[in-house]
Amino acid sequence: MDLSLLNSEQAKAVLHKEGPLLVLAAAGTGKTRVITYRIARLIEEGVPPGKILAVTFTNKAAEEMRQRIESLAPGRASAVWVHTFHGFCAKLLRQHYEAAKVSRYFTIYDQSDQKRLISDAMKECGFEREAAKASMYASIISRAKDDLLDAGSYAIYASTSIDPSRKIAAQIYSVYQKKIESAGGVDFGDLLLKVCSLLKEHPSIREYYQDYFLHVLVDEYQDTNHAQYIITKTLAAKHKNLCVVGDDDQSVYSWRGADIRNILEFERDFKETGVVTLEQNYRSTKPILEAAGRIINNNGRRKSKTLWTQRQGGAAVRVQELIDEREEASWVVQKIEEGKKSGHPLSSFAIFYRTNAQSRSFEEALRRAGVPYRLIGAMRFYQRQEIKDALAYARILLNPRDEISLLRVVNVPPRGIGKTSLERLKAFANARGLNASESFRDADKIDNLTPSCRKSLAELNHFFDKLRADLPNLSAWQAMARILDESRYLSWLEEESETDIEAASRLANVQELLSSVKEYEERRQARGSPLSLGEYLEEISLQTDRETTDTAADSITLMTIHLAKGLEYPIVFLTGLEEGLFPIGSGNSSKEELEEERRLCYVGMTRAKEMLYLTHTSARRVFGQTYSNIPSRFVMEAQLSGELSTERTRDYTATSAPVVPAQRLGTNLRIGARVRHPLFGVGEVLEKSGSGETAKALVRFENGRSTKLVLRYTPLEII
């Protein structure tokens, strides 16, 4: 192996022999290179590839790592265990389903399935009126699982809490857990939690894996949650060859349970840890690194690192203020067109934003200008209704107890099985202590069903039985094709498409799903074994987005900053740098939350290789209402000189409070009053609504434009 491509610190990490190793790899310092070289080196030294476990967070990262190992150690990469945490856990649970007390053919429920089930659980507990809070409870339950609190432990914890909502959460958690288990399902948190209990309660299994994995490597260690920490620690306990790579400055997933302490305290947790710090950046120009560095320096709790580069020169980071999000978008598009003229391919541009909603104005501007773009994330392929419908059929075939999926498609296409019939089915099931799926086949015994409904249920049952019987002889694609055909889902969409454009696009998506199954199948066949429907589902239920295979077309990229982590682009636009948007929710956010926003900003900036633009607007429409914004404190922290907008002289910390105190203006403002807005000019108040913080006024301005303004956020002046 050629080590000459590594700098001395990288080489130190690659060549580190036995014992724990912490690699603090700042942005763009060759983190993936270190981890893949290290694996290749281990293989070269005689470690069997099959006894190396490398864990990543995203499927994309896992795929990339596998490819890079393959190129360094040809023919041996496939034996290395390269997985996401969740993928690894799913594999273990299938392997040890009995010991883990899960159904052999368990279904992995994503967060939308989870939310549905939680709403059901809430109804059952009598919290119907709080249905809107399902996502809140979903997140409470998920965080509890990340912290390894099962329903029982959470109830104990809740009983000592003074917060009454904890007790409600505990009740919902317990009912939810019963439901998901009866449906033979696991959610993302369960994957981790159940593996932890498996390893804890079965010493023989634990010792087997502790023995088995000679080396454990974890990428993006700063994003691990407590459960992942325990899994890692347990697996590496015997050989103590644990190598973690990460950057505390890029920890941006605390809302998902990530605990930054895992990386900050690694040296304390694992005795005699080797520490390597990578600070030489190979990605960005000096001005970009310096600006990013000045910003991240405002964070208190971090392992101090300073990015540096040997590269000389580089264009200054540019800040641009725009009137509103429309102007922001057209300015960015204009810059892209200029860049294209001077020879940059479209693939070298990326637009980043804090929230998905911001993508819309960019999409509109790009479409208007005829610039091709790729939107990453937003409406994920596998989360689309029609895709979930199609997959629900497949899930039921494999896991007949899967109630969620059954209820999802039982009347799609319409089969005359409505709410009332389903209620009766559920009641019938409940009386027998079963879930709806389990008593579904006994439909003929259920009272009060209409004959047509009874007939539909019987037909559906027959359809499932027939396909289940044939399933062992079918490949994933054959199975999917038959499912979509025989369930009449496809022909139904075809019919609908004639009158409904949305159905047409859903049909196109389902057809795309079919071709993507085919693709998977062919890729797998190349490796020698056929792909079963079960294996296909396993792969994609942990996949949030289908990797875009058609990268051939030259296009620019749009995505949230979170999704941008780990990527790089020559020219980056970091947009919407406004107080309240980025950092988001300013005012009432804690110091920790603000520091996470700052890390996110740092992540976004350090994606740029050649040129970085920061934009902010003075007014932005949110929820259909115009808010007036001040530039993000991050703009000031970057201390950029030159082309900075005039706002630079403002005292940001002092003005991060609302521009106009609502109380004063809210009470003084009369209908008919003449007001002045810095952007829209002079106008007249037509209506007032709301009170206190939500007080709004409808103002017609002299340019003819009428806008409802939230007084708290609008710098209106009475004249």
Partner DNA sequence: CCCTGCTAGTTTTTT
Partner DNA sequence: ACTAGCAGGG
* Site residues, DNA (CB under 7 A): 57-59, 84-87, 110-111, 131-132, 135, 142, 188, 252, 255-256, 354-357, 377, 411, 414, 416-421, 450, 453, 542, 544-545, 560, 562-563, 584-585, 621-624
Which pair of tokens denotes residue 497?
Answer: 């498409």
Per annotation, catalytic residue among 177, 232, 250, 358 = 250
| Least Cβ distance, residue 265 to DNA (angstroms) | 22
Exposed/middle/buried for 419, CB within 10 Å: 0-12, 13-18, 19+? exposed
Per annotation, catalytic residue among 354, 408, 565, 607 = 607
Task: Indicate if 220 belongs to the active site.
Answer: yes
The per-residue DSSP string of 313-333 comes to --PPPEEEEESSHHHHHHHHH
Between 67 and 450, name the residue whose CB sits nearer to DNA. 450
Between 21 and 138, name the residue whose CB sits nearer to DNA. 138
Angle between the 111-124 and 134-146 helix axes, to the nearest 10 degrees? 110
Task: Indicate if 178 belongs to the active site.
Answer: no
- Is the Cβ–Cβ distance between 573 and 352 less than 8 Å? yes
Q: Which residues contact 465 (CB under 8 A, 6 or more apart)?
A: none
| Least Cβ distance, residue 540 to DNA (angstroms) | 12
| Least Cβ distance, residue 131 to DNA (angstroms) | 7
Task: Indicate if 31 belongs to the active site.
Answer: yes
Task: Indicate if 447 belongs to the active site.
Answer: no
| Least Cβ distance, residue 34 to DNA (angstroms) | 22
Between 256 and 374, name the residue whose CB sits nearer to DNA. 256
Peptide bond into 413 cis (omega under 30): yes
Between 566 and 715, name the residue whose CB sits nearer to DNA. 566
| Nearest Cα residue to 44 out of 68, 18, 66, 74 | 74
Backbone angles phi, psi at 505, to 5 degrees: -75, -30
Per annotation, catalytic residue among 187, 219, 248, 249 = 219
Between 18 and 592, name the residue whose CB sits nearer to DNA. 592
Between 160 and 590, name the residue whose CB sits nearer to DNA. 590
Which pair of tokens denotes residue 20?
Answer: 């724990």
| Least Cβ distance, residue 625 to DNA (angstroms) | 8
Distance CA 594, CA 508 (A): 42
Between 86 and 696, name the residue whose CB sits nearer to DNA. 86
Per annotation, catalytic residue among 9, 120, 220, 578 = 220
Q: Which residues contact 576 (CB under 8 A, 6 or more apart)?
A: 325, 328, 353, 354, 355, 358, 582, 615, 616, 617, 620
| Least Cβ distance, residue 595 to DNA (angstroms) | 13
- Is the Cβ–Cβ distance between 113 and 404 less than 8 Å? yes
Distance CA 232, CA 216 (A): 8
| Least Cβ distance, residue 584 to DNA (angstroms) | 5
| Least Cβ distance, residue 390 to DNA (angstroms) | 17
| Nearest Cα residue to 297 out of 507, 599, 641 | 599
- List C-alpha distances in Å: 633 to 249, 261, 351, 580, 619: 18, 26, 20, 10, 16
The pairing of strands 556-560 and 373-375 is parallel
Per annotation, catalytic residue among 12, 31, 395, 633 = 31
Between 222 and 475, name the residue whose CB sits nearer to DNA. 222
- List C-alpha distances in Å: 436 to 175, 394, 395: 16, 17, 15
Task: Indicate if 650 belongs to the active site.
Answer: no
Task: Indicate if 522 belongs to the active site.
Answer: no
Peptide bond into 287 cis (omega under 30): no
The set of catalytic residues is: 31-32, 219-220, 250, 607
